[in-house]
Amino acid sequence: MRHVAVIGSGPAGYYTAEACQKAFGDEVRVDIIDRLPVPYGLIRSGVAPDHQSIKAVSKRYEATALSDNVRFVGNVMIGRDISIPELVERYDAVVLATGAPHDRALGIPGDDLPGVIGSAAFVGWYNGHPDFADLAPVLDGPGAVIVGAGNVALDVARILAKTGEEFAGSDIVAGALAALGEHRIGHVTILARRGPHEIAMTPKELGELGHLARATARVDPADLPPVEADAALEPGLRKSVTHLRAFAENTADAPITIDFDFFAMPVAIEGDGKVERVVVERTELDSSGRATGTGETYTIPAGLVVSCIGYRTPPLDGVPYDAKLGRFANEEGRIGPGLYAVGWARRGPTGTIGTNRPDGFMIADHIAADTTGDSGKQGRAALDALLAARKVDVVTFRDWQGIERAEIANARAGAPREKFTSLDAMLAARDPA
């Protein structure tokens, strides 16, 4: 019997559990440990609430969780309730699937002013993550500036621009929905250091900006390369650029405008005790495709700045860490004897949700190569004894199902659920024993 502990219940964690099931059959026991009482990580708290089709992948994880050899161990925090060395001592393999939940800092003057928010925090707020339930972003300023050229930037812009009616069928939390319904932001600017051919935005997400009830997406035609240059792009990027070219033809007035500002990077954020404007420097691409400043600057009025420039995995005591890349130091997922990393914790915040599946299978192969299955370690029995001795209030998958039923019962009309946004509310919603 192999005993495997997976830290983190997002896509990387569940794909790793699934891979271990396929690799070892009945001869494996997998414990998926999470600090929250609710599973699914990025799917619950990171995927946009109006992208329910993407969130449906959680049904696959549920099937894994309901199998006999995988269990969810929620409300258990590494470093508070148990340490990594203690887990390595008790399990044949410990897999860090903690994701990259911390925002990368902008690193420019004024990035600590009230009104500057990282995308992990902003997305967590409208998705009901308990860490960000009290965020209260500034939504009444002269405008919003979003920094980044990926899909998260598009998510933030779309969420800011939508009407309440357009959130029908989503699981955006009630507090965020109410705040967004009252905001007076009329102008959203998306800053991209490089040009349209260098974006990381996908066609589907870009296309959604063209169908908003009260918003118009715009691109300066001067920022677009010659149309014949699009032929060299890979098909997905070419479709994305086609959307940008359509936005460049938009002339209709709308209550909210979403302007793509290419070849632009923020160099300072200014204001008297709060964000009031963003200083932007015009850029150009050098021979290697890197964006370099030209010295030309201008300002954009804004009361809200959302940074969507990437994420970092938080370090853990006793685990080698690559501070430059913002992830655990590893060799193809191997950190040290009995210790592995998977998903964003292994490779950094790159790839899609599906990218984590082959990652999980790679780690299962490593575990098969590195272990014999007869180490004598006790795995979950030893974990249960330790957590019981420390009086940790463990949340099981059955408990989560009770929480989920309560969220579904509390949903507004047409919504799939109304998420609890506090740990106390989650714990109180468990079915009575």
Q: What sign for the dihedral angle of Cα 247, 251, 255, 257? A: positive
CA 113 to chain centre: 23
Residues 116 and 276: their CA atoms lie apart, in Å, by 10
Residues 339 and 45: their CA atoms lie apart, in Å, by 26
Residues 349 and 323: their CA atoms lie apart, in Å, by 14
Residue partners of 419: CB distance under 8 A and separation at least 6: 44, 127, 128, 171, 173, 407
Residue partners of 121: CB distance under 8 A and separation at least 6: 103, 131, 132, 135
Q: What sign for the dihedral angle of Cα 257, 258, 259, 265? A: positive
- Give burial (CB, 10 Å; 0-12/13-18/19+) of 394: middle
- Which residues make up each annotated binding site for FAD? 12, 42, 78, 344, 351-353
pLDDT at residue number 314: 94
pLDDT at residue number 183: 86
pLDDT in tens, the chain (433 residues): 999 999 999 999 999 999 999 999 999 999 999 999 999 999 999 999 999 999 999 999 999 999 999 999 999 999 999 999 999 999 999 999 999 999 999 999 999 999 999 999 999 999 999 999 999 999 987 899 999 999 999 999 999 999 999 999 999 999 999 999 988 899 999 999 999 999 999 999 999 999 999 999 999 999 999 999 999 999 999 999 999 999 999 988 899 999 999 999 999 999 999 999 999 999 999 988 899 999 999 999 999 999 999 999 999 998 999 999 999 999 999 999 999 999 999 999 888 888 999 999 999 999 999 998 788 899 999 999 999 999 999 999 999 999 999 999 999 999 999 999 999 999 999 976 5
pLDDT at residue number 350: 86
SS (H, E, C) the chain: CEEEEEECCCHHHHHHHHHHHHHHCCCEEEEEECCCCCCCCHHHHCCCCCCHHHHCCHHHHHHHHCCCCEEEEECCCECCCECHHHHHHHCCEEEECCCCCEECCCCCCCCCCCCEEEHHHHHHHHHCCHHHCCCCCCCCCCCEEEECCEHHHHHHHHHHHCCCHHHCCCCCCHHHHHHHHHCCCCEEEEECCCCHHHCECCHHHHHHHHHCCCEEEEECHHHCCCHHHHHHCCHHHHHHHHHHHHHCCCCCCCCEEEEEECCEEEEEEECCCCCCEEEEEEEEECCCCCEEEEEEEEEEECCEEEECCCEECCCCCCCCEECCCCEECCECCEEECCEEECCHHHHCCCCCHHHHHHHHHHHHHHHHHHCCCCCCCCCHHHHHHHHHHCCCCCECHHHHHHHHHHHHHCCCCCCCCCCCCCHHHHHHCCCCC
| Residue 266: strand pairing partners | 280
Residues 189 and 302: their CA atoms lie apart, in Å, by 9
For the entire predicted model, the pTM comes to 0.93
Nearest of 260, 116, 139 to residue 195 by alpha carbon: 260
- Which residues make up each annotated binding site for NADP(+)? 193-194, 205, 351
Residues 294 and 285: their CA atoms lie apart, in Å, by 10
User: Distances in Å between the alpha carbon of 424 and those of 75, 198, 427?
Assistant: 11, 44, 5
pLDDT at residue number 101: 92
8 A C-beta contact, residue 103 and residue 121: yes
Q: Which domains does the chain have, with CATH numbers?
A: 2-101+313-395 (3.40.50.720), 104-307 (3.50.50.60)
Residues 180 and 184: their CA atoms lie apart, in Å, by 9
8 A C-beta contact, residue 423 and residue 132: no
CA 376 to chain centre: 37
CA 192 to chain centre: 20
Residue partners of 334: CB distance under 8 A and separation at least 6: 340, 366, 370
- Which residues make up each annotated binding site? 12, 42, 78, 193-194, 205, 344, 351-353
Residues 262 and 270: their CA atoms lie apart, in Å, by 21
Two structure tokens written together for 157: 């812009």
User: Distances in Å between the alpha carbon of 32 and those of 16, 19, 106, 280, 309?
Assistant: 10, 13, 33, 44, 29
